Homo-oligomer: A and B are copies of this chain.
Amino acid sequence: MTLQKMARKPSPAPEAASPWSGAPDREQQREAKRQAVLSAAAQLFNERGFHATSLDDIAARLQVSKPTLYYYVKNKEEILLGCVRQGLQMTIEGIEASRAAGGKAIDQLMACMQVYARIVMQDFGMCLIRVGDEELSPDSRQELRRLKSEIDQAFRRLVAEGVAEGSLPPCDPKMTAFVIAGALSWVGRWYQPGGAYTPEQVADQCIATLCQGILKRPGG
């Protein structure tokens, strides 16, 4: 059994092959398969936990042999790093897109909360929340902390801008950003696909509660 059918979304063929790249198609196929390995692993980590998941389990889920996996990844730590890094990069890209769209800070903040809430309900984002980074080497941990801090800083900046433009009441942006991050990250802990609400409904309800507060608003 080959890894041929593992790739769910093969990358599109390049517009024009670069004379410098040796075999672009093969490289792309390899990358797509590596993605499939990370995807299957993230699902298993989220279901059973990192420790309880073996490379054998990942190979079985993909219906390939364990030696085949080693062509794409070195070990379980590298897989975890790949999963968490991807969850973080998806978030950073989403935040950057929301920022680039411009408009009021409050609208950008709402868009970023949507991005983050949706990502923690997906495999890589859920993995980011559910699996600690204790297993990783100090270097990898440092890289992940840098990415996490980038996300944290983006939220703090938006909250500060929201206060400056008058959409948000005066507050310590650091604390408000932590309340937002906590409530939305928690979704990645308790969310089970196939529950009473779709991911969209979960995101909308949590964000509405964060925005409006749990107390009744005057006249509300």
Contacts and interface: CB of A to CB of B under 8 A. Distances in A.
Copies of the chain in the assembly: 2
Contact of A168 (B135, B205, B215): B215
Interface stretch (A12-20, A61-69, A81-89, A173-181): A173-181
A216 interface: yes
B134 A205 contact: no
Interface size class of A (residues with CB under 8 A): 35 or more
Given A51-B135, A169-B217, A187 B176 contact: no
Interface in A170-220: 171-172, 175-176, 178-187, 189-190, 197, 202, 205-206, 209-220
Contacts of A159: 214
A206 B178 contact: yes
Given A167-B215, A168-B214, A214-B159, A209 B51 contact: no
A130 to B, nearest CB: 8
Interface of A: 49-52, 106, 132, 134-135, 159, 166-169, 171-172, 175-176, 178-187, 189-190, 197, 202, 205-206, 209-220
Task: Please give me the 8 A-B residue pairs with the lowest Cβ-Cβ distance, nearest first.
Answer: A182-B186, A213-B213, A182-B183, A49-B134, A212-B213, A179-B183, A183-B183, A179-B209
